[in-house]
Amino acid sequence: MQTQQVALITGANRGIGFETARQLGEHGITVVLAARRLAAAQEAAAQLKAVGIDAHGIQLDVTKPNERTAAAQFLADKLGRLDILINNAGMVPKETLFVPRTSETTPEEFQEIFDTNLFSVVALTREVLPLLRQSPAGRIVNLSSNLGSLTEHALPGNPLGPFQVLSYCASKVALNMFTVLLAHELADTSIKVNSAHPGWVKTEIGGGDIAQLTVPEGSRTSVELALLGADGPSGHFMHLGKELPW
C-alpha cells in the first residue's frame, strides 16, 4: 500500500472534476482521474503528471456496472487504498437549462438523469466503501447543487426560476438525501460524507461564460470537503465553508 493519500474523481476529464483533481494533486494527493472515455482520462492525467502531480487515468462511465467494479479493482490492486471519493460526474437534460417545463417531464428523462446523478453515485460508493473504510480519514464528496435545495426553491419570488428543471433538481434533492443517510450509516467510522454546492460555475453544465464563478473558484468547495479535518462536519450541505439549507 502506498503511503500517500489517494483520491478518485469521477467526470475528471474537464470542468470542476479536472480542476478538483489538479488542486488535490497540488496537496500531494495521488489522484485517479476517471472519465467515460479512456483517452480523455489518460490525456487529463498526462496534463497533471506534466506539472509533477501523481495522476492516473482510468475509464469509468459511472452508469456501467462492470466499469465501476473495474475502477474499485484498480484502486485495490494498483494503489492499495482510497481516501477520498469525489462523486462529481453529472448531467442535465439537453437544451433545458433555461426552459423549465415541469409538467412535461417524461419517465425516460427521469431515468436518464437519475441513472447518472443518483443511482450510479450510490452504486460506485458501494463498490469502493470497503477501501474507504480502511482509510484513517475517508472522505466522500457528492457534487450537489443549490438547485437540490427544497428550501431555496420554495422561497417567495421564484428566485431559481430559470433553472427549475425538474429531473435535474430532483436528482440533486435525492443525492442530498443519500448524503444525509449515508453519513448516519457511517457515523461510527472515520468517514465523512458531505454534499457540495460548487456555485454557478463556467462549465458546460453551468452554461459557459454566463455563469458567475471560474472553474478554480467553483472547485474550492469540493477540495475543502475532501481535505476536512477530523473535527469537520459530516452529513452537511456546504458551499465555500458555509452551510446551505436542505
Catalytic-residue membership of 192: no
Site for ligand NDP contains 48 (CB under 6 A): no
- Assess whether 172 carries a catalytic annotation: yes
Q: Where are the beta strands (DSSP E) in 73-215?
A: 84-87, 139-143, 192-196
Phi, psi of 157, deg, nearest 5 = 90, 0
Among 105, 145, 176, 234, binds ligand NDP (CB under 6 A): 145
228 touching ligand NDP, by CB under 6 A: no
For residue 101, give the C-alpha cell: 417545463
Distance CA 28, CA 188 (A): 28
Cell of 60: 469509468
Using rule CB under 6 A, residue 63 touches ligand NDP: yes
15 binds ligand NDP (CB under 6 A): yes
Quick one: which segment of 12-20, 71-79, 129-137, 159-167 binds ligand NDP (CB under 6 A)? 12-20
Task: Please state the closest distance from residue 230 (CB atom) to ligand NDP, in A.
Answer: 26
The torsion angles phi and psi of 104, rounded to 5 degrees, stand at -100, 5
Tell me if 61 contacts ligand NDP by CB under 6 A. yes
Does residue number 13 form part of the binding site for ligand NDP (CB under 6 A)? yes
Helix then strand then coil, % of the chain, to nearest 5: 45, 15, 40
Which residue's entry shows cell 473504510?
Answer: 133
- Residue numbers at the binding site for ligand NDP (CB under 6 A): 10-11, 13-17, 35-36, 61-63, 88-91, 116, 143, 145, 198, 200-201, 203-206, 211
What is the set of active-site residues?
Answer: 168, 172
